[in-house]
Structure 1
Amino acid sequence: MNNNPYYGPEGHGPYEMIDIGDLLLEDGGTIPNCKLAVATHGALNAAKDNAILVPTWYSGTSKIMEQVYIGAGRALDPAKYFIIVVNQIGSGLSTSPHNTGGAMTGPNFPKVRIGDDVRAQHRLLTENFGLKSLALVVGGSMGAQQTYEWAVRYPDFVKRAAPIAGTAKNTEHDFLFAETLNEAITTDPGFREGRYGSPADVAAGLKRQAKLWTVMGWSTDFFRANRHKALGFESVQAFIDTFMTGYFAPMDPNNLLSMAWKWQRGDVSRNAGGDLAAALGRIKAKTFVMPISHDMFFPPADCEAEQRLIPGSEFRPLASIDGHLGLFGTDPQMLAQLDANLSELLATRVN
């Protein structure tokens, strides 16, 4: 167990640590006293029907959701809704490899699936907040994977769903992408099979990962248009060194690997004996599927193929040459499209 100063309320708060008790895992084992880091905005109304759940993505925490997606006059407006942002297991804020002591610390942390996160969140919402439904589940990337899992697993609980830049079943192609990210870390001699002293020991691996994210996370058009300059960086190298490497360098490698394992195996068809059409056919939520036009991790075609299997759903791609990492909020026009879609979705009457 190491106390990495990167993770904590100073950089990522405010949030509350809520112990949901022992969590039995799909792949075997248990996380005793599983703790979820939860940030809330707004207030629950008397009818308890204005709650919105926002799960987090790979490497991200509740802080970026607060900064980019939630605010007065936005679709996710705390004046109207009770917005609950739950940091996924392995994120570094909730129970994770780096902050768990004893036999589960570091590389010994158990394998956690998207379904484990969603069951943990369901327990949190029902037992801690007394909820019987969610007005909306919305998340990007791994947050989209959790959104799909919620809509399939708890079809009567979720009234509306908005998966952004993510799929219900991870593709073989995307599995390989994530594998290269993992290998960038694990092949660093300083990784020592997960028994490094601090992220600084794995600096070269984390830098390689940041470079891969630069290649895949942004699009070819992003570079052609010199978008890195619009973001304040004179050269692509400065963008890689300062923005991308600076982002990943302080993160705990075992946390990143834990999340990546989960991302690679995201698959709602596990709820229906491997039948994706049957699983997505269970969804009762009014669903807007929102890929990003230039996303190389989760291309629109992969998302549209799934959207067609969801009853009453709509395909609402977001146009942005920033690609997958447009999720960071770098493109105001994309955020405006997203807000318009979410506002329309929240205004849609549902049973």
Structure 2
Amino acid sequence: MSPHPYYNPELHGPYERIDIGPLDLEDGGQLPQCTLAVAVHGQLNAAKDNAILVPTWYSGTSKIMEQVYIGPGRPLDPAKYCILVVNQIGNGLSTSPHHGAKPWAFPKVRIGDDVRAQHRLLTEHFGIRRLALVFGGSMGAQQTYEWAVRYPEMVERAAPLAGTASNTEHDTLFSETLCEALTSDPGFAEGRYGSAAEVAAGLRRHARLWTVMGWSTEFFQQGRHRALGFDSMNDFVDRFMSGYFGPMDPNNLLAMAWKWQRGDVARHTGGDLPAALGRIRAHTYVMPISHDMFFPPADAERECHHVPRGVFRPIECIDGHLGLFGTDPAAIAQIDANLRELLALPA
């Protein structure tokens, strides 16, 4: 495994890297050694029916999921549940481009490949046959839908947050601009750069684009950056947004963006999205964020109508998509209330 100063247990741990063996990929090719980084909170009970799966979002790792959504007395309580936060392929902790000798030649991985890998991990390594809940935000929501459609008999409850089952053309186009911010940097050198520092300008552009779309217009209008401790918007962009994305590996970000753009459960049913969503057996709380410009509530509501036990529960939060970071305590309280209610429903 190639060293990288950003992807390490000191910043993102503790987690365990578990080798699940070779993984054949939906678009062809193979990961000859697929290793998933897993953070486990709590313990499996004797029946192994208290497991909750939490997949990660674009750029995120298991650490932020723990910090924002898991804790004593909360719905995701390690004293009651065994909460497995599985880092998606390509995020830097699980098998990722920067681990290989030729990171620019990393094979194309889909959301479905992540979910099949997670299924193998849970069933073969942990012996889990039922999931009390699958809960994920953004790309984690894409994985949540994929789980509920692909393995309907295994998922008792699902909670996709700030994400959709089928990526829209608008979202695909915008994520393409995020990719171009990286690949247009001369230092990117077709992915053959020596370190992320050589793509610093591209990573800054990437961070600025995220600032524009990740936060809402109301976030800017109300000066929410000041409530987060930043005196000016420039300071917020430089220290928070560029500070967040700046250390990351560009090839890792591109690998995640490629599967984000192509997230679509309808490929299970020949392009028929209602039919795919109709496969879901889980109690499903669909939770878009009110001011999200990536995955707006209207898109999530249209999909929710086709989920047999789907309940539409939008989260009011002017911060927009990046309210996922936990910047608005009131929004997190709404999410917790929904998860508590969902977990109380009979399987």
Find runs of 4+ consecutive structure 1 residues off by over 2 angstroms. Answer: none
Report the alpha carbon displacement of residue 216 of structure 1 after superposing the two structures with TM. 0.2
The residue aligned with 2:17 is: 17
The residue aligned with 1:336 is: 333
1:148 matches 2:140: no
For residues 94-150 of structure 1, what are the alpha-carbon distances to aligned partners after superposition, in whole Å with 9 as ceiling and x for unaligned?
00000123xxx3110000000000000000000011011100000000000000000
**Distance in 1 between residues matched to 2:186 and 2:193, nearest whole Å:** 10
Structure 1 counterpart of 2:206, from 203, 206, 209:
209
**Distance in 2 between residues matched to 1:300 and 1:286, nearest whole Å:** 19
Residues 120 and 113 (structure 1), Cα distance of their counterparts in 2 relative to 1, 3 Å cut? same
The residue aligned with 2:76 is: 76
The residue aligned with 1:251 is: 248
1:191 matches 2:188: yes
- Corresponding letter in the other structure for 1:71: G
**Distance in 2 between residues matched to 1:275 and 1:230, nearest whole Å:** 44
Report the alpha carbon displacement of residue 316 of structure 1 after superposing the two structures with TM. 0.2
Partner SS state of residue 73, structure 1: coil
The residue aligned with 2:274 is: 277
For residues 17-48 of structure 1, what are the alpha-carbon distances to aligned partners after superposition, in whole Å with 9 as ceiling and x for unaligned?
10000000000011012000000000101111
For residues 156-196 of structure 1, what are the alpha-carbon distances to aligned partners after superposition, in whole Å with 9 as ceiling and x for unaligned?
00000000000000000000010000000000000000000
Report the alpha carbon displacement of residue 56 of structure 1 after superposing the two structures with TM. 0.2
The residue aligned with 1:4 is: 4
- The aligned runs of 1:316-327 (5 Å cut-off) are 316-327=313-324
- Corresponding letter in the other structure for 1:88: Q
**Structure 2 portions without partners, runs of 5+:** none
**Distance in 1 between residues matched to 2:156 and 2:309, nearest whole Å:** 12
The residue aligned with 1:296 is: 293
Structure 2 counterpart of 1:133, from 105, 117, 130:
130
For residues 292-319 of structure 1, what are the alpha-carbon distances to aligned partners after superposition, in whole Å with 9 as ceiling and x for unaligned?
0000000000000000010021000000
Partner SS state of residue 255, structure 1: helix
**Structure 1 portions without partners, runs of 5+:** none
Partner SS state of residue 288, structure 1: strand
- Corresponding letter in the other structure for 2:23: L
Partner SS state of residue 149, structure 1: helix
For residues 216-269 of structure 1, what are the alpha-carbon distances to aligned partners after superposition, in whole Å with 9 as ceiling and x for unaligned?
000000011110000000000000000000000000000000000000000001
**Distance in 2 between residues matched to 1:100 and 1:61, nearest whole Å:** 19
The residue aligned with 2:223 is: 226
Partner SS state of residue 37, structure 2: strand
1:31 matches 2:28: no
**Distance in 1 between residues matched to 2:52 and 2:298, nearest whole Å:** 27
Report the alpha carbon displacement of residue 274 of structure 1 after superposing the two structures with TM. 1.1
CA RMSD of aligned residues (A): 0.7
**Distance in 2 between residues matched to 1:343 and 1:238, nearest whole Å:** 37
- Corresponding letter in the other structure for 1:214: T
TM-score, length of structure 2 as denominator length: 0.99
Report the alpha carbon displacement of residue 79 of structure 1 after superposing the two structures with TM. 0.5
For residues 50-97 of structure 1, what are the alpha-carbon distances to aligned partners after superposition, in whole Å with 9 as ceiling and x for unaligned?
000000000000000111100001110000000000000000000000
1:55 matches 2:55: yes
Partner SS state of residue 136, structure 2: strand
Identity percentage of aligned residues: 75
Partner SS state of residue 33, structure 1: coil
The residue aligned with 2:174 is: 177
For residues 2-23 of structure 1, what are the alpha-carbon distances to aligned partners after superposition, in whole Å with 9 as ceiling and x for unaligned?
4211001010000001000000
**Distance in 1 between residues matched to 2:11 and 2:199, nearest whole Å:** 21
Partner SS state of residue 198, structure 2: helix
The residue aligned with 2:100 is: 100
**Distance in 1 between residues matched to 2:267 and 2:38, nearest whole Å:** 27
**Distance in 1 between residues matched to 2:79 and 2:174, nearest whole Å:** 40
For residues 272-329 of structure 1, what are the alpha-carbon distances to aligned partners after superposition, in whole Å with 9 as ceiling and x for unaligned?
1111011000000000000000000000000000000100210000000000000000
Matched length: 347
TM-score, length of structure 1 as denominator length: 0.98
